Chains A and B, each alone.
Chain A
Amino acid sequence: MSAVRRVAIVAGATTPFGVRPTTWSEMAQEIGAALFRAEPELRSEDVDSLFVGAAEPERFAFQSHVAPLAAEQMGLTPHRILQRTELACASGQSAIRSAYAAIAAGLSDVAVAVGIEKMNLPSMAEANTSMGCVMDRAWDGPHGATAPPFFAMVAQRHMREYGTTEEQLAAVSVKNHRFANTNPHAQFYSKTFDRAKLARLPVVAPPLRLGDCSSMTDGAAAVVLAAEDRAYRYTDSPAWIRGTGQYSDFHNLAHAGPLTDWKGLTHAAREALGRAGLTIQDIDVAEIHDCFSISEIVEYEAFGWCPRGEGGKFVLDGRSDVGGDVVVNPRGGLLGCGHPLGATGIAQSVEIFQQLSHQVPPSRQAPDPRYGLVHNLSGSANVHSIMIYEGGRAS
């Protein structure tokens, strides 16, 4: 492993997330401009490779071959590796993982990982159809399988097996929406939610209400990754990639197993933490995949922050908030920021980069963090992808 080079995120940017009057290509231009504005030392010719996280541009934007389109829109001329990464809700993290692998292997020195998703269409039913294709379309899709009813079944089983309550689900949403109020790029930056307001929102898929579900969102995010000998050209505080892990064991819902025990997450976390030489208790700040409020609760348990069945109590007791065991989703989460599929994983890594270098508002800053974690699930929680970062000069 001695040939593997160390890799860091050295810059990052996001566009505003929301229901936006703009196209996929325009957002590619916008995130290019935002990235070069965020990192004045970055020159286009520095960037030898581009990885484009995009889940469903064919359906939402009627556009294939998006990697060279994104390069052109962003003003980049990749000359080593250019590719799109698709892994549904984890498409953005896949772009970062691919860039990391390329740089670590010496195939790239400076790469951009960008995520772009346009999801809001004039026809919501057509957009919902696209989301249905993420499942096993031919066998689960015809029944109306989309994410909300699947995660609703997870919530139903968790409530049945462990007594998890709607109050505990709402605590996740209240926390993440409160954090989103500190993030001007969040879809729900200017909207406040308390428990009473969440309880008045309509039920989407029982027991999940609208406030338990992340939104259809337009947005883009990008990071610059650099090899160890290039990183300090751009920043004094790189976020070093210390470990990564991934696990997938099913796709058709028949093989989801016990809905409340996400073994794939536990496996991926063990891989990532093992590579980093850390335990989960070492993590100071985490951006994890709260596509639904119940997801964050099951994830606390699968990561080992709390025993199985106690995720609801964990959040209600404030242990995933600033001042708790670990600060979870200070960016505002998918619940507060919205969930543009390809952009989410990258925006999460931008937050960790900024957390580790103390660039976020004090109201959401984790106290003096050293280690940060990013987690994405995709589809029906059948894939889990994890990255671990360390701030400052890695030893």
Chain B
Amino acid sequence: MSATTKARRDTPPEEATAKAPPPVTERSSVAEKRDPGKAPPAATTPFLLDFFPLEGPDQTRLARFFERLKEGLLCTTRCPRCGALHWPPRVACPACHAEDLEWIDLPSTGRIYAFSAVLAGAPLGMESDVPFAVGLVDLDGVPLRIFGRIDGRPWKELDIGSAVRVEPLPLADGRVFYRFRTVD
């Protein structure tokens, strides 16, 4: 998944929060002058894709999702032609293939349908999060069950039916994503 596409880090990084994941890798630049007789350093890539989406308006037609998330709200698309409610947000309706979709805000609360926890085998950038809980959450009042990290109470204190709320997750490089957090 590494690629040399246009850098996404054009936007100045916002102040990182304590929860923000670190960059996937930190490597030295190959552009530094070096003695040609010496062994080359490990190659570096100017841009390395990570798990988080590219979210600027020059990279996705769903930029509004991330803008709204920075305001604290989860939103998605709905099809005005057939009424289908989508997750994740889309640019074309899978049910009727309409392309003129509308944005709607989603409820910020829900209940756990199923959950587990990652106690080992985490991907890059998530090793220091271990152990962490993940689950499928039924959002209140809409027919959507979406997957997400569950912060807050430790996994041993969760149960099917536990209440959670959506919480924006600011990333160190200015992007944003969401997680769930337990409601006390």
Contacts and interface: CB of A to CB of B under 8 A. Distances in A.
A144 B116 contact: no
Interface of A: 59, 123-126, 128-129, 131-133, 136-146, 148-150, 152-154, 156-157, 160, 202-208, 252-254, 256, 259
Given A144-B126, A149-B134, A156-B116, A138 B52 contact: yes
Given A205-B119, A254-B87, 20 more contacts: A124-B121, A128-B121, A128-B122, A129-B51, A131-B123, A133-B1, A136-B88, A141-B123, A144-B132, A145-B147, A146-B118, A153-B114, A153-B136, A156-B115, A156-B160, A157-B113, A206-B119, A252-B147, A256-B136, A259-B114
B64 interface: no
B1 A59 contact: yes
A153 B88 contact: no
B98 interface: no
B152 interface: no
Interface in B25-53: 51-53
Name the residue among B52, B123, B144, B149 with the largest chain A CB count within 10 angstroms. Answer: B123
Contact of B51 (A141, A206, A208): A141
B56 interface: no
A253 B136 contact: yes
A203 B136 contact: no
A150 B115 CA distance: 8
A137 B134 CA distance: 15
A379 to B, nearest CB: 13
Contacts of B177: 142
Name the residue among B146, B147, B160 with the largest chain A CB count within 10 angstroms. Answer: B147
Nearest to B148: A143
A144 B1 contact: no
Contacts of B88: 136, 138-139, 252, 254
B120 interface: yes
Interface string B142-183: 001111110000010000100000000000000001010000
Q: Which 4 A-B pairs have the closest CB atoms?
A: A152-B116, A153-B114, A129-B123, A253-B147
Name the residue among A123, A154, A254 with the largest chain B CB count within 10 angstroms. Answer: A254
B117 interface: yes
Contacts of A128: 121-124
Nearest to B135: A153
Contact of B53 (A138, A203, A259): A138
Contacts of B119: 202-206
27 contacts: A124-B121, A128-B122, A129-B124, A132-B123, A136-B88, A138-B52, A138-B53, A139-B88, A141-B123, A142-B52, A142-B53, A144-B122, A144-B126, A146-B123, A149-B134, A150-B116, A152-B117, A153-B136, A154-B114, A156-B114, A156-B116, A157-B113, A157-B114, A202-B119, A204-B121, A206-B116, A254-B87
Contacts of B155: 206
A148 B118 contact: yes
Contacts of B121: 124, 128, 146, 148, 204
A153 B119 CA distance: 14
Contacts of A140: 147
